[in-house]
Structure 1
Amino acid sequence: MPIVVRKSVGLALGARVLEGLATDNTLHMVLNGLYARSSDQRHVGRLMSASLALYMAGMALSPALAALLSDFRVSFAVALVIFAVAAAYLALVGPLDGGTVANQADSSGGDDSPSRLTALARPALRLFSDRVVAAHGAAMFLYNAAISYMFPALMVYATLHFSFTPAQNGLLLSVAAGTSSVYLVIAAAASRPARHAAAVLISLTVLVAALAALAMVHVAWALFPMVALVSLGLATPSFVKAHLVQRRQHDALVVAAISVAEGLGSLASAPLLGAWQSTHPGGSVLFVAAALAAASASVFVVGCL
């Protein structure tokens, strides 16, 4: 809200840095870390799909709700209220993993700064020291490199080549998030441990084909059904994580490790796709995203199965 009141570019850039530190990857890491400690590991995939479905449902509603507000400053105020409600809810629920945290603190022998620094590095060390975790992490790195900047690149493409307005670009995001949410609800209901690998490959195959088709669209209205198809591939992370948790049961550290790979992929996405789009205007950036998604599928087949 201070950004809106002061109209400061410095504040806006600082807010983007803070937003990046509190990214949705962090939210999913915490949730999935809790799911990985569930006593019944058979339903981990269902829990992951359900939480991502709710997240996507919120994303689908957001542009439509923002469009109903006449003053953009009101949308910032509404967002702050929603965050406050979420914080109050978490405070009422209380610590979900207090017993585990307390036990870890007792076993560590006190507040030791070097051991805390080591603990921060453990996810990255686990990512590179375990072949199975490394393979899943590499698949997620390539997936996030393909997807994290793909929608901003698509909106730039739609604006330049089809004269899309901000409202139409917002509708594109709503279509993508809404379709993905519905698909994830269905996936959560049908989740079975033996199907996680097949679900990963199906989602990535659909994603690659839909991205390639999206790059060849010549009429504006066709972007919407193609984006709906692309959004079916957005369920991939929940399937990959569920597959990993089945391979490394009751190990929350592997979820943190794969989140490190996701974060690195997100960081790589904008330089890769953004640089390509700036030098190669047009839909070819979507072919690059499709190639990265195909590489993710190849890594999963070779290293994760």
Structure 2
Amino acid sequence: MASSPTEDTAPLLRTRLLADGTQHDGNSTRYSPLSTELARVLPVPLLCSVALHMTVAPTIWVYAYLFCEHPEQCRDEEKRQYASSVATATAVANAAGLLTLGYLARLVHWDARAGLMAWLLCRGLGVLGLAMSIYLRSFPCALGGQILQGLASDNLLHFNLNSIYARASSAEAVSVLMGLSLAFYMAGMAIGPAIAGFFPSFEWTFIVATTLFGAIIPYIWTVMSSGNPKNTHNVGKYQSPANPESAPEVPSSKYKYLAAVLAPAGLFYERPRSLLQGLSLFFYNMVQGYLFNLIFVFASVQFSFTSKENGLLLSLIAIVAASYLLVSLFIIPRLALYFGWSFTKSATIRPSAMGENSSNNPTMRQGRSWDLGAGAVSILIQTVAVATLSQVRQPSLVYLGASLTALGLAAPSFIKSYFVASLPDPTQGVAALALMETSGGLISPLVLGAWQAQHPGSSVFYLASGILGTSLFCLVIGAFL
């Protein structure tokens, strides 16, 4: 790392949003990702997740309320309508998120605060739309609310946040910040349904969640006093321009909207061998984007789970996932140091594997082998766990199977930190992976939701397990090409 910043970059390093916690004292440099101003953003995923997951189980219950005469005991035909409506609404919402990702990437390049505030606005209005659909008994109203939530999906929340964390000064710092952000998100996932259980009805849950989304906006405005990362940012020894030219541009032609939508995919054109790692997240999210719905609908149809029981199930999943992340980020590395093992050794990524010439990028960052291994293990665990859900015959075993499945929820954090560590412009990598995730989420209900609608039993979990196996294959092969 450079001993001191240049005169031109010094003011920028003091900018609040881009301050990465590196203290320069002339000849020495000390770094702690948890003492950074970037770390002040970490409460945002916690608060957003609490509000978001207060409404996840009630949202599924809304469709049962709309399509079943007795939501606790849906008839066979009502079960098909129920599953189909959930799949349709989720697919349309995911499509809305995909179509806006290119413009969101430009918005984040312009002002990171604007991206987060737009997310909060859309999410809050979406929750209000679902609340109104209950009183109007209107599926179109529920669909409108779901579309607004698609514009503020959890993938797009992580995209906004990861675009900020990716500007940290080292690959390890990026990994820690992204991992902690996801852990806070999982903690909110556990807390949200528990809080929702205290309200007399799920209508109250929607009202409180909307209020909380609105309350987060002043916090964002306060901690992010400078939201414009336009000029430069440090990536270890590498300084990369993050100017307007690096943001996805919309060409002035009749295809400009399509070009804006596909702009984040430009990274895979420039570095074609990185496509396999993108496909890994695509296939992973093809399952992940509908996994909770699969489990909720399966539990509701087979074991008559209500909104309250699905909420408890979601809390359990989140607690297990957050615990696994924290153990992976802090406990295992410390045990490794104690026993003399090295889990932070960089995995070599040849410039040719990323579609580059080494002479053009001599200081290219390297992905950490720990992130690669942890991501692969996480996907493998979820692959096996999802397959075991197909064998569940008792309500109590649903909780066990879902808990094992939760161990795989940490995979995206590891894959993203591994991937962006090798790029000169990390935010470009975050946008490209967000496109693949969102695309997988779009396909998810069309594949898994349609299968579950036609076959309400447990066979859909075999299909999900096979898709996860494909994701694992792409990740491992892509890392060694």
TM-score of the pair, normalised by structure 1: 0.90
Q: Verify the 8 A CA contact 1:206 1:233 in the aligned structure 2.
A: yes
Deviation at 1:46, TM superposition (A): 1.2
Q: Which has the higher helix share?
A: 1
Measure, in 2, the Cα distance between the counterparts of 1:104 and 1:199. Answer: 30
Match of 2:423 in 1: 248
Select 1:48's aligned residue among 174, 178, 184: 178
Is 1:224 aligned to 2:399, yes or no? yes
Runs (5+) with no aligned partner, structure 1: none
**Residue matched to 1:26:** 156
The residue type paired with residue 24 of structure 1 is D
Within 2, Cα distance between the matches of 1:40 and 1:132?
Answer: 23
After the TM superposition, which of the residue ranges 244-253 and 24-33 deviates more from structure 2?
A: 244-253
Specify whether residues 40 and 11 from structure 1 end up closer, same or farther in structure 2 by C-alpha distance, changes over 3 A only.
same
Residues 289, 444 of structure 2: 8 Å contact kept: yes
Q: Is residue 36–residue 249 contact of structure 1 (8 Å, CA) maintained in 2?
A: no
Matching residue of 1:87: 217
Task: Give the counterpart letter for 1:276 in structure 2.
Answer: W
C-alpha distance 159-65 of structure 1, shift in aligned 2 (>3 A): same
**Counterpart code for 1:274:** G
Shift of 1:229: 0.9
Residues 100-129 of structure 1 show CA distances to partners (whole Å, capped at 9, x for unaligned) of: 269866769xx9873997666431222344
**Deviation of the 1:264 alpha carbon:** 0.3
Where in structure 2 are the equivalents of 1:50-65 lying within 5 Å? 50-65=180-195
State the 1:140 CA deviation: 0.3
Q: How does 1:1-305 map to 2 (within 5 A)?
A: 1=128, 3-5=130-132, 7-8=135-136, 9=138, 10-95=140-225, 97-100=227-230, 114=252, 121-189=262-330, 190=332, 192=344, 193-305=368-480
Aligned residue type for 2:328: A
The one-letter code sitting in structure 2 at the alignment partner of 1:293 is: L
The higher relative CO (CA closer than 8 Å, separation ≥ 6) is in 1
Deviation per CA, 1:63-105: give whole Å up to 9, x if none: 1211110133322221122112211100111355424269866
1:35 is matched by which residue type in structure 2? Y
Whole-angstrom distance in 2 between the partners of 1:271 and 1:293:
16
Aligned to 1:218, the other structure's residue is in SS state coil
**Counterpart in the other structure of 2:86:** none
| Matches of 1:304 and 1:237, distance apart in 2 | 15
> Quick check: which has more Rg, 1 or 2?
2
TM-score (norm 2): 0.59
Q: CA separation in 2, counterparts of 1:2 and 1:123?
A: 30
Say if 1:163 and 1:29 are closer, same or farther in 2 by CA, change over 3 A.
Answer: same
Q: 1:188, CA displacement in angstroms?
A: 2.4
Do the aligned partners of residues 209 and 85 (structure 1) sit closer, same or farther apart at CA in structure 2, a change above 3 Å counting? Answer: same
Residues 423, 429 of structure 2: 8 Å contact kept: yes
**Aligned AA (2:148):** L
Residues 142 and 295 in structure 1, CA contact (< 8 A), matched pair in contact too: yes
Distance 1:147 1:282 in 2: 19
Deviation, 1:168, is 1.4
Give distance in 1, aligned partners of 2:397 and 2:478.
36
Amino acid at match of 1:257: A
**Distance in 2 of aligned mates of 1:39 and 1:210:** 36
Distance 1:68 1:207 in 2: 31
RMSD: 2.5
Show CA shifts across 1:2-31 (max 9, x none). Answer: 653573423322111111011111111122
Whether the aligned pair in 1 keeps the contact of 2:167 and 2:174 (CA below 8 Å) is: no
DSSP-derived class of the 1:283 partner: coil
Give the letter aligned to residue 19 of structure 1. Q
What is the CA–CA distance in structure 2 between the aligned matches of 1:4 and 1:21, rounded to whole Å? 17
Shift in Å, 1:32: 1.4
Q: How far 1:169 sits from its partner (Å)?
A: 1.6
Letter in 2 for 1:187: S
AA aligned to 1:38 is A
**8 Å Cα contact 1:140/1:296 also seen in 2:** yes
Measured after TM superposition, the shift of residue 136 of structure 1 is 1.4
Distance 1:99 1:45, change over 3 A: closer
Q: 1:257 to 1:112 in 2, by over 3 A?
A: closer
Conserved 8 A contact 1:149-1:274: yes
Larger mean Cα displacement after TM superposition, 25-34 or 7-16? 7-16
Give distance in 1, aligned partners of 2:296 and 2:427.
Answer: 36
